[in-house]
Amino acid sequence: MSIHPSAIIAAGAVVPESCTVGPFCTIGPEVVLGEECRLISHVVLDGRTRIGARNVIYPFASIGVAPQDLKYKGEPTETVLGDENTIRESVTISRGTVGGGGVTSLGSNNLLMTCAHIGHDSHVGSHCILANAATLAGHVTIEDYATVGAFCPVHQNCTVGTHAFIGGGTIVTQDVLPFSKTSARRENKAFGVNSVGLERRGFSPERIRALQKAFRLLLVSKLNTTQALEKICELNGEDVALLAAFIERSQRGVIK
């Protein structure tokens, strides 16, 4: 095990021999690290925190710290991370609250850039990117393969759909459609399918065309959301069905 002499590891913490703990890191007594994790330096891991294998955590990141919620009174809530995440400088991930389910979670193979924040009781899937200073309030859900651009605040209880791309500086106060591009440059509106991202992830031209047809009904036609949804449900394809189901279950409404 490679542990710098200046690091502080509390009794009870689980740190496998394959891990590297750099200078001035602190690891709390209820933290469990997976194999081959690397803590570069000045990393704080606190609370009931479980971290999977091969995560790389950069200086001044704080994970599992108490939530920024005045109702929190020290209850034993949790933070859970998957495998092979890259967590860059000054990222903060707050543990859950009793009122929000008690768990904040991050999947696997994510990139969290400098100063990104994941608030209490938020759930981020896998293969996501949170760019610099992307800020998730409490109770936010980010589905797999989504990208949240730099300096994007996401309001409490919002959901960002799978494969969505949010441009930098966009203020998100409603749910973001899966497969969509949404940007502040377009007055915080969705403006079509994230075609480039879907191509990079191996979507066939047929799948993309089916989604484009559904998005034209939703965004360009003169139909309201309910009418457009009825037409979308008549189309074929699993991706289109996923889009329709997302709209149907949205509680905050979707950005159009």
- Note the pLDDT tens digit of each residue in 25-58: 999 999 999 999 999 999 999 999 999 999 999 9
Residues tagged active-site: 120-121, 138
Instruction: Give 160's contacts (C-beta < 8 A, 6+ positions apart).
Output: 140, 141, 142, 143, 146, 148, 154, 166, 172, 175, 176
Q: Which residues of 139-156 are buried (b: 16+ CB within 10 A; e: fewer)?
A: bbbbbbbbbbbbbbbbbb
pLDDT digits (tens, 9 = 90+) for 196-227: 999 999 999 999 999 999 999 999 898 999 99
Distance CA 233, CA 214 (A): 9
Q: H-type helices in 22-62, by residue range?
A: none
Q: Domains (ranges, CATH) in the chain?
A: 2-142 (2.160.10.10), 198-249 (1.20.1180.10)
pLDDT of 186 above 60: no
Tell the burial category of 102 from Cβ atoms under 10 Å away from its Cβ (0-12, 13-18, 19+): middle
Query: What is the pTM (predicted TM-score) of this model?
Result: 0.95
Mean pLDDT calculated for residue range 94-107: 97
**pLDDT bucket at 185, cuts 50 / 70 / 90:** low
pLDDT of 184 above 90: no
